[in-house]
Amino acid sequence: MNNSYKRRISALFARILFMGMGLSLLFACTKSSEDFLYKGDMLPVTIKGYNGGSEYMEVKIDTVKFKSIISTGRFDFSEAYLFPENKETAKLVITEKNTEKVVLERELKKGDGATTINFLYANDKVSDMPDIPALEQGKLKLIYMFKPTVTKYAGPVDIVLGKYYWTPKVFEEIDRIKDVKPYEFTKPITIATFPTVGQQYNGQPTPVSFVAYIYKAGTNEYYTKDTEYGWHATSSTAPKPGANAAASKLYVFQEAPNGGNMQFFKELEL
C-alpha cells in the first residue's frame, strides 16, 4: 500500500469522524431545543392603551421584567413570557417606575393563550379601553371620556349632540349620552351623518355646525352654570368628527377655558 493511498484512507476516516461528531451535536441541540419548547409554554403578551399620567411604568410577570417601558401618552408593545415547567399561572404587575406604585395586577393562565391588556390610566384610575365600533356608512359612532380638570365638577352630565343653525342662532338636539360620569368612558352613541352646507331653517338658508354640548344630567342646563365660565354657541363643544362623513371615534377630553368661556382640549383621539 503506497503512501498516497494511505493518505486518502486517513482523510476518509477523518471526514466520517467529523460527520459523526456533527450529527451528535445536531441531535444534542435538537433535544435541547425540544426541552426548551415542551418543558415550558411561551405566552405572547400585548400591552396597549393610553397613559394619561406623568409617570413611566414598568411591566413584570412574576420575576421577569419586560424590556419595554410604558411611556406617557399612547403605548402598544408585545413581549413573550416563558412559563416554567409544571406552572399554570403567573402574576402580571404594572407599576409606576419611580414611585413603584402598583397600577394594575392581572393573573395570567397558560391555557388562555395569547393575552392582550388594553387599558387607560388617568387621574390615578385604571379603566378598560373600550372597543371602537366598526365604521358604518352613513353613521357617526362616538365614545367619550370627560375630564373636568379645571372646575372639578363631580356630578353626572349629559353629552348632547346636535346642530347649531347660525341663522337664527338655534340649537337642535339630535341625541344625547345620558348620565356620563367624569373620568369614565361612555357607551357608544350612533347618529346619522348630515350635511352642514346648503341647509335651511324655516325656509331661510343657513350654515350648520355640528356641536356637542355638556349639560347637567337630565336637564338642558350647561354644567358650567353658576361658575365663572360662560358657554359659546360654537366653540364650547366637546371634540367630534366632521358631520358629513362616516366615522367611528373615541375621544378623551378635558377642560381648557379661554376668554371667559369654557372650551375643551382633546387629549386623545382614536
Q: What is the mean pLDDT of the chain?
A: 88
Q: Are 66 and 59 in contact (CB under 8 A)?
A: yes
Is the pLDDT assigned to residue 22 strictly greater than 50?
no
The structure's pTM equals 0.74
Ranges of each domain in the chain: 42-128, 139-269
Under DSSP, is residue 28 helix (H, G, I), strand (E, B) or coil?
Answer: helix
The per-residue pLDDT for range 161-204, each reduced to its tens digit, is 999 999 999 999 999 999 999 999 999 999 999 999 999 999 99
Place of cell 406604585: 101
| Residues near 252 by beta carbon (within 8 Å), at least 6 away in sequence | 50, 52, 120, 122, 144, 145, 147, 266, 267, 268
Could you tell me which residues are beta bridge partners of residue 117?
A: 47
The per-residue pLDDT for range 82-122, each reduced to its tens digit, is 999 889 999 999 999 999 999 999 999 998 999 999 999 98
| Whole-number Å distance between alpha carbons of 59 and 51 | 13
| Whole-number Å distance between alpha carbons of 155 and 183 | 11
Question: In the structure, what pLDDT confidence band is assigned to residue 258 with cuts at 50, 70 and 90?
Answer: very high
Report the pLDDT value the prediction gives residue 124, as an integer from 0 to 100. Answer: 86
Under DSSP, is residue 104 helix (H, G, I), strand (E, B) or coil?
Answer: strand
Is the pLDDT assigned to residue 30 strictly greater than 70?
no
The per-residue pLDDT for range 120-150, each reduced to its tens digit, is 998 788 988 998 999 999 999 999 999 999 9
DSSP code for 182 = T
Q: Are 151 and 227 in contact (CB under 8 A)?
A: yes
Nearest to 195 by CA among 186, 183, 208: 208
Nearest to 122 by CA among 50, 180, 194, 203: 50
Report the pLDDT value the prediction gives residue 38, as an integer from 0 to 100. Answer: 38
Report the pLDDT value the prediction gives residue 125, as an integer from 0 to 100. Answer: 87
Instruction: Look at the alpha carbons of 111, 115, 117, 118 in this order and tell me if their dihedral is positive or negative.
Output: negative
Report the pLDDT value the prediction gives residue 18, as an integer from 0 to 100. Answer: 47
Displacement of CA 9 from its chain's centroid (Å):
69
Is the pLDDT assigned to residue 9 strictly greater than 80?
no
Query: Which class is 42-128 in CATH?
Result: mainly beta
